[in-house]
């Protein structure tokens, strides 16, 4: 089977506009960890189910171990958080979290989904992680960070 060049595929798929999330969990020592991901989608309403597709790394390894994760949807002003959790630490101070009964919730997340990992499906160089949503919250008026064509945008521009 023929495939497009990775750069061609990357550019084409970047034309699909998404929000930006930080997927969080805790490691074996109970320390919060997270990573930026925009491969988030809802799968089913009843029961509430979501998925993310993530590559091998610290966060995936920790989710495999705890069986739990949370998805934090970033606000319009969350570009620095996105860059930070994509492995280029750029924040002047440590990211702030809000207390919850579940996995780590970022302060200012405009929506939060606390999930139990149901299935891990490894496909090529990523793992599709399907999560049952145990709890979720959202802000009514908040604007999202938008990602299109490998750049950050807001709804207004
Ligand atoms: C817009 C965007 C969308 C992306 N979407 C995806 C996607 O859908 N799937 C995918 O696989 N990759 C995606 N990436 C790439 C991904 O975010 C990076 O590859 C990331 O570094 C992988 O994280 P990691 O846990 O594997 O490892 P790491 O690189 O070790 O962790 C991520 C970064 O977060 C920091 N960090 C973690 N926890 C904390 C904490 N508690 N306090 C302070 N700092 C902390 C770490 O220091 C590190 O710099 C995306 C990147 C961007 C910019």
Question: Which of 77, 57, 73 minimizes the C-alpha distance to 114?
Answer: 73
Question: Is the distance from CB of 75 to CB of 143 less than 8 angstroms?
Answer: yes
Domain 6-151 fold is: Pnp Oxidase; Chain A (2.30.110)
Output the ligand 1 site: residues, CB below 6 A: 20, 32-39, 53-55, 57-59, 82, 85-87, 89, 94-95, 126, 147
Pick the residue whose CA is nearest to atom 26 on ligand 1: 57
Question: Residue 30's pLDDT is what?
Answer: 94
Question: Residue 157's pLDDT is what?
Answer: 63
Question: Residue 92's pLDDT is what?
Answer: 81
What residue ranges do the domains of the chain occupy?
6-151
Positive or negative torsion for Cα 119, 23, 55, 19: positive
Question: Residue 117's pLDDT is what?
Answer: 98
d(CA 29, CA 3): 42
Tell me which residues of the chain have a pLDDT lower than 50. Answer: none
- Report the residue among 36, 98, 148 best suited for mutation to probe ligand 1: largest number of ligand atoms under 8 A from its CB: 36
Question: Residue 82's pLDDT is what?
Answer: 97
């Amino acid at each position: 089977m023929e495939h497009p060049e990775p750069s061609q595929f990357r550019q084409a798929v970047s034309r699909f506009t998404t929000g930006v999330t930080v997927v969080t969990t805790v490691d074996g020592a109970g320390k919060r960890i997270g990573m930026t991901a925009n491969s988030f989608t809802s799968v089913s309403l009843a029961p509430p189910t979501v998925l993310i597709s993530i590559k091998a790394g610290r966060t995936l390894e920790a989710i495999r171990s705890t069986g739990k994760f949370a998805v934090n949807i970033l606000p319009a002003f969350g570009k620095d958080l996105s860059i930070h959790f994509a492995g280029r630490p750029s924040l002047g101070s440590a990211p702030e979290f809000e207390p919850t009964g579940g996995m780590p919730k970022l302060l200012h997340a405009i929506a939060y989904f606390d999930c139990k990992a149901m299935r891990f499906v490894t496909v090529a160089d990523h793992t599709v992680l399907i999560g049952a949503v145990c709890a979720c919250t959202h802000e009514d008026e908040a604007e999202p960070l938008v990602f299109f064509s490998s750049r950050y945008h807001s709804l207004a521009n």
